[in-house]
Structure 1
């Protein structure tokens, strides 16, 4: 049984963008809801050249683990098989991990490009501090052996660049299928922190919050430069549109918002490209974090113009009704993504995660659904 979640979001006032001209709503079939890796969250997945999905989890033992059993701060898993019959393996860290985790941190962005994997990594406890602060800086980690080992960059972006917790824009297998009009680039979205001095914990604790003003920046780097060891100056940032509505690119100091939501954006997000619809999809939070207040937006290009697909409300948060699913539930989901391997025409399987402190949605969750297109008049 499919549940039409679009009807819930329609009652929300002050959506930041008009309705999508292409996608009318999302339908989810909660009978397909699966849960694994209890106690491990995040899992932004990328479709690698070997045909499998890879993604990072946080604070748990990964597949076969728990919130304590096999716990690592940052682990990497491989997910093999189709959406209705997948199996997860711990590649880096976790219970029976094939390789030990080399460093700590968190990641909500991974991408496979040719034979390499890359992930954006933020710290758990920054050097010299005895408390967590995911916001403080961002490093790029790369793997040439499908996640068995990782090397981190010596450079970083910091919260004083007005950048925090990024994600990659994922296309097809090994990042194939990037439209010619987008160029031979790898794209990343960065959330602007509410304050460059923000602290997750400590004396000025903010926690993991929805950031206001709700601003997202877009950066790109040439694919070959990413593959051969980039430095931060190789990244170009979206710097607005020309009079002909073409994107302009500049230095980090010239960056301009590519997306805004007055209700805020979350501390993490996901981004992908649907090859059939030829739409970029981004997902993030608004209003309050860890409360199922997700937004799904689409655009014809990484730089927009954006429209709204779904915008969940406090009255009807994501997963408020789940006919066919008996898994324990609380309204604590903060992250949803659409793995590009699991697109099948208008059908998809999404993965999501929440803040259950080792229970309920603090896990790897999948649910299948369908993009319902807007009827043409």
Structure 2
């Protein structure tokens, strides 16, 4: 299968609506405020998504990181990537170029490619991070004994840009969809020496939970489970508190759904962006019933990885009738001033089952 690139002009009505809601019409904004889980951002006052969509490859989820060699590395799930003969559960790829001229290529990696149904519980990568020449992949869907399908997570790592992967000998049966915080090229924009990750507070990657939790580990100790700590709140002296998994407290709450979130640092704006999308319409893969779930795209910003959060964009029924989910903001495609970036997302069953990107522009309070 050839590596094909598709450019689609999406209905201007959707983008016009987004522009109207976020920054132009006070009456529309005040109505939608009732559904915001957090107040509107005081830093970012407008949000517009471009009408052009670029789509390449085959698969979904597309965890992505920017490595020291200047390339972006990603994992697709449940697909053929950019030319595999048959579908696999997950496999590594390289993304090159800059939008709209982007390209993908498969990495030949017997240890990083997980077929199904064999392998590590048909695991799928949910988070990817490059630090000091090493790629760290958080892997979900371990299906540990005693837990329902689609639960649990662990870690694998590569020191040769995705060709060879090794597994740690531990897991998190209670964590269903962990995703690393990315911050610039090879994590160079990080504010401290810790690597951070987030996950919905639940064991399944197929459930729409209400809370998001955060863990962290020193970037020299990522392979050691006992070195990880979890956010447990803010002290009376306004210090951040870290403890065991049992001590955890949410960094973010939205009863309307926190499905497959991601987090990235926008260096130009000096803000952390948290994003998630609960897909529109009927979806056959839910592991739970959330009566408060509402299909939406949510983008939130904060001065620190744990908050406090404000709302950049909250788009009800985003992409209707497409079923969009697993949004990311690739670090390499954030402009120097932070005001432009690309939103990467997946679609299933309606919409292109590909690596999909659209350009976004934010207006900042001067």
Give the TM bin, normalised by the shorter chain: 0.7 to 0.9
Q: Is the 8 A contact 2:277 2:324 kept in 1?
A: no
CA distance in 2: counterparts of 1:243 and 1:156, whole angstroms: 33
Q: 1:290-309 maps to which residues of 2 (within 5 A)?
A: 293-309=296-312
Q: 1:258: Cα distance to partner?
A: 1.1
Equivalent positions of 1:1-377 (< 5 A) are 3=16, 5-8=18-21, 10=29, 11-12=31-32, 13-31=34-52, 33-38=53-58, 40-64=59-83, 69-92=85-108, 101=114, 103=119, 104-123=122-141, 126=143, 133-135=149-151, 137-159=152-174, 163-179=175-191, 183-193=192-202, 208-211=206-209, 214-226=210-222, 230-266=223-259, 268-286=260-278, 293-313=296-316, 317-320=317-320, 330-344=321-335, 345=337, 346-356=339-349, 360-374=351-365
Structure 1 residue 117, shift from structure 2 partner: 0.3
Q: Is the 8 A contact 1:210 1:285 kept in 2?
A: no
C-alpha distance in 2, partners of 1:58/1:14?
32
> In 2 relative to 1, CA 80–172 (structure 1 residues): closer, same or farther, beyond 3 Å?
same
Matched residue, 1:203: none
Consecutive unaligned residues of structure 1, counting only runs of 5 or more, are: 201-207, 321-329
Partners of 2:219 and 2:188 in 1: CA distance: 11
Instruction: Give the deviation of 1:164 after TM superposition.
Output: 2.0
Equivalent residues of 1:55, 1:110 under 8 A apart: yes
Q: What SS does the corresponding residue of 1:233 show, helix, strand or coil?
A: helix
Query: What whole-Å deviation, never above 9, does each CA across 1:103-151 have from its counterpart, x for those lacking one?
Result: 4311221001110000110126x3679x98222x110111111111211
Contact 2:214 2:250 in 1 (8 A): yes
Call closer, same or farther: CA 1:46–1:16 in 2, change over 3 Å: same
CA contact (8 A) 1:294 1:335 kept: no
8 Å CA contact 1:292–1:331 kept in 2: the answer is: no
What SS is found at the alignment partner of 1:60?
A: strand
- The number of residue pairs the alignment matches comes to 327
How far residue 6 of structure 1 moved from its aligned partner, in angstroms, is: 4.7
Normalised TM-score (structure 1): 0.80
Query: Could you tell me how far apart the structure 2 residues matched to 1:308 and 1:209 are?
Result: 23
> Unpaired runs of 5+ in structure 2?
1-11, 23-28, 284-293
Relative distance call for 1:292 and 1:76 in structure 2 (3 A) is farther
Instruction: Determine the C-alpha separation between the residues in 1 that align with 2:280 and 2:254.
Output: 13
Instruction: Give the C-alpha shift of residue 170 in structure 1.
Output: 0.3
Q: What is the aligned-residue RMSD (CA, Å)? A: 2.6
Structure 1 pair 98–370 and aligned structure 2 pair: CA distance change class (3 A): farther
Is contact 1:6-1:310 (8 Å) kept? no
Mapped partners of 1:98, 1:235: distance in 2:
25
SS in 2 for 1:55: strand
1:205 alignment counterpart: none
CA distance in structure 2 between the partners assigned to 1:247 and 1:156 by the alignment? 26
SS, match of residue 73 in structure 2: strand
Counterpart CA distance in 2 for 1:222 and 1:99 is 24
- State the alpha-carbon separation in 2 of the partners of residues 155 and 98 from structure 1: 17
2: CA distance between counterparts of 1:367 and 1:16?
A: 24
Larger RCO of the pair (alpha carbons < 8 Å, separation 6+): 1
Distance in 2 (alpha carbons) for counterparts of 1:296 and 1:286: 12
Q: Structure 2 length normalisation: TM-score?
A: 0.82
